[in-house]
Each structure stands twice: as C-alpha cells, then as structure tokens.
Structure 1
C-alpha cells in the first residue's frame, strides 16, 4: 500500500462507506419507483400522440442511464475495498507510484496517479473507439 497514514486511510474508508450506502439507497429507491408509472401516465393521457410516447421512452432511457452509472459507481467502490484489503490502495495501477492523499480525498476510487490519468485521457481522446 502507498504511503498513507492510518488516519488518512480511515478517513478514506469512511468516505467510501458513506458514498456506498448513499448509492445503495438511491439504487433501491430508483428500482422501487421504476414501475414505469410516469411512462404509463404519459401513454394513457388524452390525447396521446407519438410525441408523448417519445418523451416517455426518453425518460425511461434516462432513468436506465442513471441507474447504470450508479451501479458502476458501486462496483468501483467494491473494487476499491478489494484493493484496500490487498494492500494495493493508493498505488497507481500503471506506474506503481503513489496516488496522493488529496487526489484520493477528491476521488477515493482513483486507480491512477494524476500523471498517468492525464496520459490515459489524452490517449482516450485520440482514439476513435476507446478500449478499457
């Protein structure tokens, strides 16, 4: 594990746990409220037209995109907890260098130091089809 003091690690773990619980709550609420009631209301409203259906479809797509992003964020946090358990947290996956505490406070699931992340983003911007 990179040179994080135990108090810093504790602070980051607490931040990750809080974010994880918040995301879980949001996902549960979204799933509970996703009975497509709003879409049904739009489709059943009089007079119905193709514009109403398009809006309903767009809202459904938007809600799925939000849910996908939240689930991906949960997975990122779970992967971070695994790196913590394996004592790999705080080390850049590309160069092995230290990811600074300030960067981790801003973005606790960071896997790369700022230099490697910037290089990756430049490479990503130049590719037509990014690869993970």
Structure 2
C-alpha cells in the first residue's frame, strides 16, 4: 500500500481547512440571516392564516436542515483533520487498504476505499426499501 506523500497530504489538508472555513461562513451567514428574518417577520406581523404559518414552519425546518448538513460537514472535516494528526488519514476504516489520493481529492473526508464504500451503500440502500 502506497502512503500519501507529504505534498499530497499538505494539499488535502489545505483543501479540508478551506472547506471548513467555507462551511463556517455559510453557518454564520445562515444564522445572521435567520435572525434578521425573524426581526422582519415581527415587524411585519399581520394576522396570517394557517397556510402562512405552515409555510413559515416549513421554511424554518428547511433552514435548520441546511444548518445541520453544514455542521455535519464541519464535523466530518474535523474528524479527517484528526485522522491526519493520528497518521490514519487515507486508510480505509473497513479493510485497512489505501483510500487513494484521487478519491481523497474528490472527497477529502472519505473514510473508506471505493470498494468498501460501494459495498456499504449497496447494503444500506437495501435496508431503506421494504420488501412486500
């Protein structure tokens, strides 16, 4: 198994840190915008109907879902940076083989080699579809 070279590891570390900063900006922007939107809603509060309230709740849920995805992404990046520190980055957590530089360039938080990831997706995709 060929380990990642030092320049490859540096390149991936820079990418992870840049992605983390981008997600952090997104979370901050979303939180700032949601606060402003709440104030605007209070200022413009006219009696609305149940449909308006339902739409507002759906939008709030959607915004929370986006925030959750960003925060999950940040956690994945933090875990990848920790694997780099521990010398475990680029090693599949299932089989122990190399994850591969090309895969890590495309998906720097990858924890599995492509073979193990495909097997995992097939296995868990089957569980999501009930059989009659």
Q: TM-score w.r.t. structure 2 length? A: 0.88
CA distance in structure 1 between the partners assigned to 2:2 and 2:14 by the alignment? 18
Q: What residue is the counterpart of 1:40 in the other structure? A: 41
CA distance in structure 2 between the partners assigned to 1:45 and 1:124 by the alignment? 47
- How far apart are 1:44 and its partner, in Å? 2.2
Change (3 A) 1:49 1:99: same
CA distance in structure 2 between the partners assigned to 1:81 and 1:100 by the alignment? 16
Change (3 A) 1:38 1:51: farther
Which ranges of 4 or more aligned residues in structure 1 deviate by more than 4 Å? none
Q: What residue is the counterpart of 1:71 in the other structure? A: 71
CA distance in structure 2 between the partners assigned to 1:123 and 1:44 by the alignment? 49
Matched, 1:25 2:31: no
- How far apart are 1:51 and its partner, in Å? 1.0
1:22-69 deviation line (CA, Å, top 9, x unaligned): 11111111112222428826x8246x2111111100000000000000
| Contact 1:92–1:113, Cα closer than 8 Å, also in 2 | yes
Change (3 A) 1:75 1:2: farther
1:81-102 deviation line (CA, Å, top 9, x unaligned): 1100000000000000001111
RMSD of aligned alpha carbons: 2.2
1:73-119 deviation line (CA, Å, top 9, x unaligned): 00000000110000000000000000111100000000000000000
Structure 1 residue runs of 5 or longer lacking an equivalent are: none
Change (3 A) 1:105 1:38: farther
Q: What residue is the counterpart of 1:6 in the other structure? A: 6
